[in-house]
Structures are given as C-alpha cells and as structure tokens.
Amino acid sequence: MTPPLYIASVDSFSGKSTIALALGLQLGEAGFRVGYFKPLGTLPLVVQEVTTDEDAYFITNWLNPDAPLDAVCPVLLTPEVTARAIREDPGNLRRQISEAYARVAVGRDLVIVGGIGDLARGSLLGLSAPTIAELLDAQVIVLAKFTSQASVEEVLLARLLLGARLLGVIFNFVGLRDWEALNKELAPYLESRGIPVLGILPHDELLGAVRVRDLTEHLPAKLLCCEKALDELIVHFVVGAMGVTSAAKYFRQIADKAVITGGDRADIQLAALQTATKAIVLTGNIHPSQVILKRAQQLGIPMLLSPLDTLSTVERIEQITGRLRVRESTKVDRGRALFAEHVDFNRIRTAIGLGDGM
C-alpha cells in the first residue's frame, strides 16, 4: 500500500471533503481500492450506537462502506476531549489515531485522510496537520481558497511546515477576475519554488447552494408551510427592500433564489411568489397574511419566519453559505465534474506512487 494521502488546507471551509470524495471516486474508477479516514472530527453523529463524525460517515459510505464504523474517525474534538488533553498527556490520542488508521487501511491501495479547519487546527491537542502527517507518514495535498496574493503566501508557509511531504496545492473557489493572474503569474511562481499546482477550480454556484432545510436549522427559522420542499437548493439570496415595481423586475431575472424581506412587506412577498423562488424568509418575526400564506401553499414555496431583523438575518445567512457540507447527489456529481475538468488527476496519481489499477 502507498503512504496515505492527507487532504489539508491553509484555511477553513476550503472544500476538503469535496476534493477527497472526488479524488477517491476517480481512483476507484481507475481500479484502486480506496479508503477514507478522518483522524479528528468536529461534527458528532451517532450511527448504530457508535459516535462518529458526520463528514467521515458520509464519505466512507461512498468510498469504503465496509470500514469499521468506530475507526473511521477516532477522535472527536468535543469540549470534554479538549479539556482532558490540556490536563493530561495527549499521547493516548495519537495511539488511538494510529490504531484506528491501521484498521481502516486493511485491504486498501490508498487511504485518503481528511483534515479539519486549517493547518493549525488540533494544535491544542498536539494534533496539528503537520503532526498528523508525520504520525501517519502521509503525503499531503493542501487546498487554498484564492482571494489574493496572500493565499499564495499561505501556501509558501505550508511548504515550510510540511516540507517534502507536500505534494502540491489545489486552489479552490477562484473567481473569474482572479483566474488569469493565478494561471499566468502566481501558479508558475509556485512551480518555480518547487510547489506543484495540481488544480485550479472555479467558484461554483451549485456547490455553494444551501437547502431550505439548512436555513430552518441554522438561522434558525420557523417553517410556516411547504415541508415537502425543504430539500430544494437555493443558489441566490435576494433582499427585498426596494419598491415593488423594481423588485418584481429584479426577481424575474434571478432563478433558484430565496427572497429575504420584512414580514410586513406583503407586496414584496407577492412579487416573489410570482417568480422562480425557492423560499421566502420573513424577518422581524412578523407573520404573513393568510392570503399570502395560502398562495405560498398553493405554489409549494416554503415561507420561513426569522426571529431576527433583516440585516441580522442576512449576516447570519452569509455565515451559513459556503460552510455547509456536500450531501446532495447533485452536489457530489457537480464536485466530481469540476475535479475531472480542473484538477490534474494523472499528476496526482504519479505523485502518490500509484501504478496501473487492479
């Protein structure tokens, strides 16, 4: 078996799970037996009386569903675990990770190891990304959300921290205005410094989409109608604070949207219901009229009641978007397509030392 491949990142919410799953599926299609392992988890999930990590469970079900459930994520970063690690020698946690990895690795050509947060996450327990990479003797690919030249500086720092273990970088969520500079100037610069640029993925609206259900859970908001539409995907968010004539014109131009407006703006709510709207978020804890609610029910458009004012609701939604995990099959398919188009799979395969598939 080749050394494990650790998918880390220089910043949080950079698409590690999507890349790990897409790479694992493509290697599987090439004939390799791929497993997934997540040393540290942050999203506790109880399955068959075993507490594991939600991301780890999801990806494992795609890549190695026969893996022992209690081994795919041996350490969950709960407040209790962190407090105990501060007081005591965290060496036991390292043993747990090593032993769990060995169980997951049985019968695999490669195990993809999923990171959390940024490179420093887990340091309080003595389990930062560089430390885990050394513990498992793993090769590392780092992800970076490209926002400015500072993103390249973070990759250079990652090279200092990871040394020869770093196989390269994948840039994610790259906007159109940054594409040319990254391709023509910054990527060649990194290559000249011995850091392969293995992929440059564009920002994608579908991968950033959220379900109506996510809004009800994370705002939180009360669902007033249309429970059957909770899994509809919202791509755009529009604040309905303008005049109704302008709003109606604007709403017609944007599909797959949620409209955020005051609960007392019946005119905006009606205009939204007449266009391709996935949900209406009513702010200020103000209920809509029965006429509006009945029309929403007829059209199957959920109405959500937010206890926050409009500005606070928008700020909360901005915190939610981009941080929610890939769960829907449409997102998985989109992530795989983007990976296939924009990541140099053969270069990665050569770098990790995999020959022909089985």
The CA-to-CA distance between both ends of the chain, in Å, stands at: 13
Nearest by Cα to 150 from 122, 121, 182: 182
pLDDT of residue 13: 82
pTM score > 0.95 for this model? Answer: no
DSSP helix/strand/coil, 142: strand
Give the tens place of pLDDT for each residue, 221-279: 999 999 999 989 898 899 987 788 888 888 999 999 999 999 899 999 999 999 999 99
Other CB atoms closer than 10 Å to residue 137's CB: what's the count? 9
Query: Residues 77-89: pLDDT tens digits?
Result: 888 877 777 776 6
Q: At what angle do helices 266-273 and 244-252 cross, to 10 degrees?
A: 20
Mean pLDDT in each 10-residue stretch from start to end of the chain (358 residues)? 93 89 96 96 88 92 94 90 73 90 96 95 92 97 90 95 97 89 92 96 84 89 95 90 84 92 92 94 94 95 94 84 66 91 96 72
Which residues 6+ apart lie within 8 Å of 93 measured at CB? 75, 81, 85, 125, 126, 127
DSSP type of residue 237: E
The yes-or-no answer to whether 5-207+325-351 and 210-320 have a common fold is no
The first and second tokens of residue 56, run together, are 């780890």
Domain range summary for the chain, segments of one domain joined by +: 5-207+325-351, 210-320
Topology of domain 5-207+325-351, CATH: Rossmann fold (3.40.50)
What does the pLDDT read at residue 324? 53
210-320: in CATH 3.40.1390.20:
yes
The side-by-side arrangement of strands in the sheet containing 110-114 is 34-37, 110-114, 5-9, 139-145, 166-174, 197-202
Distance CA 106, CA 115 (A): 20
- What gap in Å lies between CA 201 and CA 182, rounded to an integer? 11
